[in-house]
Structure 1
């Protein structure tokens, strides 16, 4: 599979290494608005993000991945590219544990050591980061980021754009509204409203984060 990678920051470095370990996968281009113009080097294409769309002209089997950790930025890029959902690859590290009954959307990345258990669903362009645990019957939206070592226990719902910080935990059957942020180490024991920042043990909503 040929991959056009969007983004060249720290999160992208991890994804690049994951791709290098996938049999038959090859990065054919790196695209980021840090590049002012297109160029070709070491058998790879480089250029601003919008120039990645040219890869369809060169390769019939190219897939895209947005390798950017910020949820809002990832959403903005996907909307600007305006590609069909199946234009994006889904990348799952070989050390992760994924139930055969789990559903993972296009463009989502599951990092090393992560667990996604039975009947859980994860939307498009989400990040399940290193050693995160998504227990049974979770329903996660698109553009979600579950940070390293975070745990979502059974039957948790998280709307689009939710970010759960490193080491945070959510007890069973709780809901986190869209674009809410749970601070690192927080413990969610009650529903969290959309567009809110919640921190602490137990996690309490502090302020509104603003609508997308």
Structure 2
């Protein structure tokens, strides 16, 4: 039975866990989340400890992924996963489309309905949320984050740690600076 450690049991963590289980490569998910021990279950899967307890579970899992939307925290957690000798894995929802010519780093999550196009590049820890599109030849640098429904056209470059929030879009060959936070094209902010 292959066990995946998912760091983070919040909304994104649950989505990543569900995608992993639906994909069939993983038969069991254990969460590490700082709500432990007050919370011990999420999505019907055990929360087995806090994120700081990662090393205690390194020999009991075959891979791990950092499943949190905050780019800086995701980067720290990816480093921690590799520091304890666990494989940093990718999770692709079975209803996503990832081109076989795409170039992929480690620790990537591609969620339901997302499309990663021809020769797109997703660097380490990139996050492509539900129904987002990374068109041909586009690039997400390390820990870039596309929110739900974000559309980036061919040749777009999204800098490291940049966050395009739900509904944002970029036309051809736009360059989003490192660390930028781009709001939605239309909508109300919280």
- Pair 52,27 (structure 1): closer, same or farther in 2 beyond 3 Å: farther
Which residue pairs with 1:155 in the alignment? Answer: 155
Which residue pairs with 1:69 in the alignment? Answer: 69
Which of 52, 55, 58 does residue 53 from structure 1 map onto? 55
**With structure 1 as the length reference, what TM-score do the two structures score?**
0.77
Query: How many positions carry a matched residue from both structures?
Result: 182
| Correspondences of 1:187-202 after superposition (within 5 Å) | none
Unaligned runs of 5+ in 1: 187-212
Cα root mean square deviation, aligned: 2.5
CA distance in structure 2 between the aligned counterparts of 1:17 and 1:70, rounded to whole angstroms: 20
CA distance in structure 1 between the aligned counterparts of 2:68 and 2:89, rounded to whole angstroms: 14
Which residue pairs with 1:11 in the alignment? Answer: 12
Q: CA deviation at 1:81?
A: 4.4
Q: Does the 8 A contact of 2:3 with 2:60 survive in 1?
A: no
1:34-93 deviation line (CA, Å, top 9, x unaligned):
2259x9xx995611112122223335xx10011111112211222344538971111111
Describe the SS at the equivalent of 2:23: coil
| Correspondences of 1:1-212 after superposition (within 5 Å) | 1-35=2-36, 44=46, 46-59=48-61, 62-83=62-83, 87-185=87-185
Larger Rg: 1
**Structure 1 range deviating more: 79-88 or 160-169:** 79-88
CA distance in structure 2 between the aligned counterparts of 1:95 and 1:28, rounded to whole angstroms: 19
Describe the SS at the equivalent of 1:142: coil
Q: Does the 8 A contact of 2:7 with 2:33 survive in 1?
A: yes
